[in-house]
Amino acid sequence: MSDMIPSHLFAPPLAAMDGLQFRLVETADFRPLQETCYADKRAALFLDHFEQMMVWQGNGRACWLFIEHNGRLVGSGELIIYPHGAELANLFVVPQYRGRGIGTAMIIVLSRIARHWQLTGLEIGVECQNERALALYRRLGFVDDREVRLPGGETAVILHKTL
Ligand SMILES: CC(C)(COP(=O)(O)OP(=O)(O)OC[C@H]1O[C@@H](n2cnc3c(N)ncnc32)[C@H](O)[C@@H]1OP(=O)(O)O)[C@@H](O)C(=O)NCCC(=O)NCCS
């Protein structure tokens, strides 16, 4: 899979903080990712998710970013291709690193990779009450497309960006 993504696409955007590094998730990242970025997901569900994502990443259907600052895990995020389109999912930055441009940099890197894969658009879904994430996505050019009701009863908005 790494052969399918040229290394320069992982370079941090110029405005990003010093010491930031982006790379693909590897098998050895299971535990730190689970403990740091997916702590709210049940263990069995995360195991299924991890295995599925590694298969998809291996066959070029997904890109799972592992973000480090001076060697320490600070966030992760997924780009997944579906038959009807592609989406960004499970974007996460550890709380003490939020508000420093890492989420923005992650979306820029994932969008570069999406363009490299010749995808023409990206979707991202966010709960309506997550105003900060919603504002971030709108600021980066995502436009509200539709609302959906989640299994728990909450409403989420699906945003779209043409690449
Ligand atoms: C949503 C999320 C991924 C954004 O990551 P982030 O690293 O905080 O995002 P950014 O720093 O790029 O942008 C967020 C804010 O920081 C500001 N900012 C951007 N670059 C900055 C910088 N260099 N220095 C200081 N602030 C900066 C932005 O203007 C923005 O302002 P806000 O306070 O109005 O939101 C993160 O908040 C998160 O993990 N949230 C919990 C999980 C979640 O809700 N995920 C999204 C599900 S759809």
pLDDT in tens, 57-87: 999 999 999 999 999 999 999 999 999 999 9
Domain co-membership, 100 together with 136? no
| Alpha carbon of 100 to ligand 1 centroid (Å) | 7
pLDDT of residue 3: 58
Once rounded to an integer, what is the mean pLDDT over residues 3-18? 89
CA of 93 from ligand 1 middle (Å) equals 8
Q: Are 113 and 65 in contact (CB under 8 A)?
A: no
Angle 18-36-60 (CA atoms, 0-180°, nearest 5)? Answer: 80
Do residue 146 and residue 96 come from a single domain?
no
30 and 101, same structural domain? yes
Q: Ligand 1: which of 88, 136, 150 to mutate, most ligand atoms within 8 Å of CB?
A: 136
Verify whether ligand 1 is closer than 6 Å to residue 134 (CB atom): no
Q: Are residues 63 and 16 in the same domain?
A: yes
Range of the domain at 20: 2-119
Q: Is 98 in the pocket of ligand 1 (CB under 6 A)?
A: yes
Q: From atom 29 of ligand 1, which residue's Cα is the shortest distance away? A: 99
User: Are residues 76 and 103 both part of a single domain?
Assistant: yes
- Do 43 and 72 share a structural domain? yes
Same domain, 45 and 16: yes
Q: Which of 85, 103, 119 is the last residue of a domain?
A: 119
pLDDT confidence band for 4 (50 / 70 / 90): confident
Per cent of the chain over pLDDT 90 is 93
How many domains is the chain built from? 2
- The most distant pair of C-alpha atoms in the chain lies apart, rounded to whole Å, by 42
- The Cα 109–Cα 70 span in angstroms is 18
Instruction: Please compute Rg for the chain using Cα positions.
Output: 15
- Do 111 and 134 reside in the same domain of the chain? no
Residue 1, pLDDT > 50, answer no
- Whether 104 and 154 share a structural domain: no
Q: Which CATH number do you get for residue 21?
A: 3.40.630.30
Q: Using a 6 Å cutoff on CB, does residue 38 contact ligand 1?
A: no
| % of the chain with per-residue pLDDT over 70 | 98
Structure tokens at 11: 């370079």
Indicate if 131 and 104 belong to the same structural domain: no
Indicate whether 145 and 129 sit together in one domain: yes
At 12-56, the pLDDT tens digits run: 998 889 999 999 999 999 999 999 999 999 999 999 999 999 999
Is the pTM of the predicted complex or chain greater than 0.85?
Answer: yes
Looking at the structure, tell me whether residues 65 and 95 fall in a common domain: yes
